[in-house]
Amino acid sequence: MYRKIIKPLLFSLSIERAHRAVILLLRIIGLIPGGRWLLHKCYAVEHPALEREVFGIRFANPVGVAAGFDRNGEAFRELAAMGFGFVEIGTITPQPQSGNPRPRVFRLPRDRAIIHRIGLANRGLETSIRHLRKPHEGVIVGCNIGKNTATPAENAPADYLKLFRNLYQYADYFTVNISCDNACRDGSTHTREQILRILEPLFDFRRGQNQYRPVMLKVSPDMPDEVVDRVADILLETPLDGIVATNGTYCREGLQTSREALEEIGNGRLGGAPLTRRAVEIVRRIHTRSGGTFPIIGVGGLMTPDDVRAMLDAGADLVQLYTGYIYEGPGLVGEICRALIADEERRQAEAAKAEAEAKAAAAAAPSEASDTASSETADAAPEPPLPSPEAAPGSGTNAGSGTNAGNGTAEGAGNAKSADGVSGCGDIPAGHSEKSPKTASGTSGEPAIPAESVPEHPGKQA
């Protein structure tokens, strides 16, 4: 229905108009009694295998709305009812700002991409608070915050702090957006000093609060690898909780859209299919460099369940959609969730099969098990009692060892399950304790700083 009727209708409008219409429609549905319930019935997929615990927060599923979709927090409850596990609103700036002149958002259908230079248009802090005062009804809301364009760089920390203080009670987590500024498109202004000037006042404020709000940092995909590493090191060495990677790219390589059309569109960040590879690469690099112990929200070019699998395999704990949702429609969230459930069920079936095979093998070779057990016992105890020939069938006792061997296999399967990209499904929560084995295996080549030496991260150890 979306692809055949609604999408052509929406795509006949300018993208901003279509977007406005969708937000308005969602708000209207939200006002109708039972409206959100109906959306939930139509779109949401619920299953224990989808649940995740990340930075101390329980998510019903790992698929969220990326920043920029609900910039003012107008429809966060309706978006959650459409099946999203969380909604990141914003970017919110302290003062309302109208952004760049229109047109400023463009579809690239041949590339399944969008280019935008909205310039952080939003209605400002006060309007967002008005929307966020509505009961959250269990919806997990992230607030993405940024400085006003007119604020000079030296006053940026004050803008971020103002937003953080005033939104603190309404947000479940924060994303500090340093990646939307034209000046820092390639991360050249992402120096450690500049990032910490923004983050430290937020950490100071948080120390005085009763409730902990995780702080994430959103980064650009155009950063060279050294800057990605610098950001990962900040994650290791400061109370920063995690990374949102990535924003749109300024890169135009490998596009199907003609050069003339691109020139006509002009400047802007590109999201969608051409971004997938770079976004996944950045997530993998940060995950590896940080030893796999810190939350990462993967975003950028997630158009299909396979893209989401790749992002989770690269080390993301949660994912967000924007352009994929525009091109594939509201069914995409359910499609991803069903794919993740199927993956988990397959994994569980394989683990059960491996366990059954191990048990069968142990039962089929009792004397072998008995011999092994006997020789093991002999090694352990200097003077073992000699087994009488009649005791051989008593490898009934030894069958016990066989069972243990079976258990060993089952445990092994369990570990493999929790250590893979879509960890934490079913009974095994996807907290970072599940990722510790990866840290131990030293994927990074660089020693990860042990969690105890990282100050003040209650959320990270969830």
Ligand X SMILES: Cc1cc2nc3c(=O)[nH]c(=O)nc-3n(C[C@H](O)[C@H](O)[C@H](O)COP(=O)(O)O)c2cc1C
Contacts to ligand X by CB under 6 A? 66-68, 71, 91, 105, 114, 116, 118, 120, 144, 177, 180, 218, 247-248, 271-272, 275, 299-302, 321-324
Least distance CB 163 / ligand X (angstroms): 13
Least distance CB 342 / ligand X (angstroms): 23
CB closer to ligand X out of 104 and 460: 104
Q: In this structure, how many other beta carbons lie within 10 angstroms of the beta carbon of residue 9?
A: 11
CB closer to ligand X out of 297 and 340: 297
Least distance CB 193 / ligand X (angstroms): 22
Least distance CB 88 / ligand X (angstroms): 7
Q: In this structure, how many other beta carbons lie within 10 angstroms of the beta carbon of residue 352?
A: 12
CB closer to ligand X out of 101 and 138: 101
> 65: which 2 tokens?
């709305």
Q: In this structure, how many other beta carbons lie within 10 angstroms of the beta carbon of residue 126?
A: 12
CB closer to ligand X out of 149 and 194: 149
Q: Are 145 and 165 in contact (CB under 8 A)?
A: no
Q: Residue 67's closest CA among 191, 192, 176, 197?
A: 176
Least distance CB 300 / ligand X (angstroms): 4
DSSP letter string over 281-326? HHHHHHHHHTTT-S-EEEESS--SHHHHHHHHHHT-SEEEESHHHH
Least distance CB 176 / ligand X (angstroms): 10
330 Cβ contact list (under 8 Å, min separation 6)? 2, 43, 82, 83
CB closer to ligand X out of 105 and 341: 105
* Burial of 353: CB neighbours in 10 Å, binned 0-12, 13-18, 19+: exposed
Over 69-138, what HEC string results?
Answer: CCCCCCCHHHHHHCCCCEEEEEEECCCCECCCCCCCEEEEHHHCEEEECCCCCECHHHHHHHHHCCCCCC
Least distance CB 301 / ligand X (angstroms): 4
> 362: which 2 tokens?
């142990």
CB closer to ligand X out of 239 and 268: 268
Least distance CB 324 / ligand X (angstroms): 5
CB closer to ligand X out of 89 and 234: 89
CB closer to ligand X out of 117 and 457: 117
> How large is the C-alpha radius of gyration of the chain?
26
The residue with its CB nearest to ligand X is 68
The residues with which 86 forms a beta bridge, in sequence order, are 64
Distance in angstroms (rounded) separating the CA atoms of residues 116 and 409: 52
CB closer to ligand X out of 100 and 409: 100
Least distance CB 288 / ligand X (angstroms): 21
CB closer to ligand X out of 55 and 322: 322
Least distance CB 90 / ligand X (angstroms): 6
Residue linked to tokens 């463009």: 106
Distance in angstroms (rounded) separating the CA atoms of residues 223 and 219: 8
CA-based angle 124:67:252, to the nearest 5? 115
Residue linked to tokens 């996807």: 430
